[in-house]
Chain A
């Protein structure tokens, strides 16, 4: 690539486009890294020349045995397989990575910036669903909705009373990362009469919640700790043994961020030893593997990474991916650019 990109504007001219003007979009090679959403797959097939990496055992090396690397001008990745350095290096004509996610931890952003590759994601359309799930997990854990549903299904209600749960309304909620999703969670929890505090890189001037510059102080002060920040080098294992101990035996941890935010080994031992009151998890360090010790614990609710998995939001995310790709290849501004 021999042009100087201006990140974030989407307005720089791509000399490659000039060379190939007149070529229809349907011939543009787009690589989808894994099965994400049938509707997205269909749309990509309709509008572009779609290649599916999982048909080559999800291996770039294998893909390159039967395909020319320079046919791929766009990659659609997700939270499983994004665009790492190896992938980027394998496709010399790669112009844009459109992620079917808001999280960017699976994309080598530095490499993209270096090579002038555009990056787009799917913010906002999934904020509500992820925030809803966070509240659903809190209620599932504290009010033991999932455990008592199981209790009824196996016929135990006839034998005995299920026992007591913990009230949610009025409890103290601590949010790690007060971005779009963190803010949406805060607004919901407020309606339950909860007090809200947060830890973030910097204090948010327009947020009317108590700010802690230290995550241990946040964990000490709240009963429900929710991870809602982006995964970066700084936030990897941000929830460690010290934070878990500060949260304590009556505390519960909700993770709707990334598995790697939490030291999973420490989390498991804290739950088994009763040093942590409970957990609601949608993400894990090595999906779809879930630590065996967590299965069947009455104070833990486990979800198979479904934060944005509603019909409505999946379609909206897919539409956004398609719109970003179309915009790029028509030399128009990206709708939701990252780089």
Chain B
């Protein structure tokens, strides 16, 4: 592929002291650390322009070699095709479903992502949502702050976490961190993944429905792709059962959201802890009224510490690309 040639040619012709990077929509790391990033790179801000995207790209970004993207910002086939000099997409997410990877493969565009930088934070929030949903922590907090404890007496009982069978859907970096954290709570960990992992002793299930039938908690830790879209459907939810809980820290579209809402409303499952939704920032209104659901505005990685580490990773990847060195956290596109 010719990308190395393109890169060298553009570098020599580059009149700006800082390399140009296109940003379609600002990622959180941009919002919090724009200064630090702008010291190193010149950002072309597509969202700031009155021009529609296509026009902006052809007018201002024709020679751009790198895009800075994030998890909910699509980098489409069309966008990639309007950028003949594109050599790198850096996304601040661990997920890649928003990028047309096939087109990247075809064009020889490299992709860098967050790797396992987020795994601890995502695992922490998965456990936090689970404990909250079972022990009604957010609901109990509301009970106290609304003055109901003094007036109405004891709050209702929660459910014990210890001894529960927890099914992890997707035992990648995040799934493994979740399992590790839940073990001392006395949970029995089971999992379902594309392949069985020989390095773990957790019981393996080859399909999600069977996993759901054998556990009382499902934690979604997998990526969103064609195989996992709506993999949590009516059959799986019913198999999980009336005492079952579902925790989603993957992507909203892994779960058939409408079906999950129906199951929650009708008591087919006992509760949920959700950091992601099919159509963010829209959250189904039925969920707002439920006490057995914990809602989080897609912030599994929004900690100060991780965002600092992420800035450094983004800068590191962009600098590596512009100086023709290996990326720090490349996505392996040749699968």
Contacts and interface: CB of A to CB of B under 8 A. Distances in A.
Contacts of A17: none
A311 B159 contact: yes
A145 B137 contact: yes
Interface string A302-320: 1110100111111000000
Chain B facing A: main interface SS: helix
Interface in B72-130: 120-121, 123-125, 127-129
Nearest to B295: A152
Interface stretch (A22-30, A130-138, A172-180, A257-265): A130-138
Interface in B138-167: 138, 140-145, 147, 149-150, 153-155, 157-162
A139 B131 contact: yes
Given A140-B138, A166-B305, A192 B144 contact: no
Contacts of B159: 310-312
B181 A162 contact: no
Contact of B128 (A139, A152, A303): A139
B264 to A, nearest CB: 15
B183 interface: yes
A299 to B, nearest CB: 12
Contacts of A302: 140-141, 144-145
Interface stretch (B52-60, B202-210, B218-226, B296-304): B296-304
Contacts, number: 180
B47 interface: no
A152 B272 CA distance: 15
B137 A310 contact: no
Contacts of A205: none
Interface residues of B, number: 59
B307 interface: yes
Interface in B176-200: 180-186
A148 B297 contact: yes
Interface of B: 28, 31-32, 120-121, 123-125, 127-129, 131-132, 134-138, 140-145, 147, 149-150, 153-155, 157-162, 180-186, 280-283, 288, 294-297, 299, 302-307
Interface stretch (A8-16, A95-103, A183-191): A183-191
A190 B184 contact: yes
B305 A167 contact: yes
Nearest to A152: B295
A159 to B, nearest CB: 9
Interface size, A (range): 35 or more
Those 9 A-B pairs whose CB atoms lie nearest each other, nearest first? A139-B128, A136-B131, A169-B120, A167-B303, A312-B160, A302-B144, A128-B162, A152-B295, A310-B160
A188 B184 contact: yes
Interface in A182-235: 187-188, 190-193
With a 10 A CB-CB cut-off, give which of A162, A165, A193 has the most chain B CB atoms: A165
B185 A149 contact: no
A139 B157 contact: no
Given A143-B124, A149-B132, A149-B138, 14 more contacts: A128-B186, A129-B162, A157-B297, A161-B302, A164-B304, A169-B121, A187-B184, A191-B181, A192-B181, A303-B141, A306-B136, A306-B155, A311-B157, A312-B160
